[in-house]
Amino acid sequence: MTNTTIQLSKFLSYVLRHDPGSIGLTLDEHGWADVNMLLSQANAAGQSITMDLLQQVIRDNDKQRFALSPDGKMIRANQGHSIKVNLALEDIEPPQQLFHGTATRFLETIRRQGLKPASRHDVHLSVDRETAVKVGSRHGTPAVLIIDSTSMYRDGYTFQCSANGVWLTQQVPAQYILFPDQFPNHQSKQ
């Protein structure tokens, strides 16, 4: 992605996940916004966006943060909302284990409290360690946690998978988390 598309992706993430009202945009209950209204409101707010540029950001975003409706008239963020939306994702059985990336400075709090969504609606989990390392790196020295999602599911916790493959759950109690120092042949770095 270019600097322009990176900045636009950050702008779209902010507007579609956290504050659509900042540009006078309205989302429906499922987080969808009218594409033409988004373009109009963004341009009126000083953010120059064309339909071609919007489609490029959606297509080239390595995290696939955004989705267009099948008819191309609506757009939404796939997950990560701090505002109330119902993504209408179905509960499904997760893979045997999932991963969560965090910073090492948060490990002691997570040991005591488990994983909580903080300002978002859900805890975000990935199917691979590499993604978790990238996520953890955004917050400091990365630490990867392994989640026993099979046991959680068996014990009644629900999981959904967003359109871009991010696994979501409301919380992860500490007893389902394998911390780095508990890994076989554990290493201090991930």
pLDDT above 80: residue 76: yes
Percentage of residues in the chain with pLDDT exceeding 90? 77
The length of the chain in residues reads: 190
- One domain, residues 65 and 133: no
Q: What is the pLDDT confidence band of residue 189, given thresholds at 50, 70 and 90? A: very low
The more confidently predicted of residues 157 and 121 is 157
Mean pLDDT of the chain: 92
Residue 86 lies in a domain: no
**d(C-alpha 80, C-alpha 30), whole Å:** 13
pLDDT at position 123: 95
Look up the domain containing 174 and give its range. Answer: 98-182
pLDDT at 184: 67
| Helices 35-44 & 51-60 angle (0-180, nearest 10) | 110
Shared-domain flag, residues 59 and 104 = no
Considering the domain architecture, whether residues 43 and 115 belong to the same structural domain is answered as: no
Domain count, the chain: 2
Q: Is 0.85 topped by the overall pTM? A: no
Query: Is the Cα torsion angle 137, 128, 146, 113 positive or negative in sign?
Result: positive
Which carries the bigger pLDDT value, residue 16 or residue 64?
Answer: 16
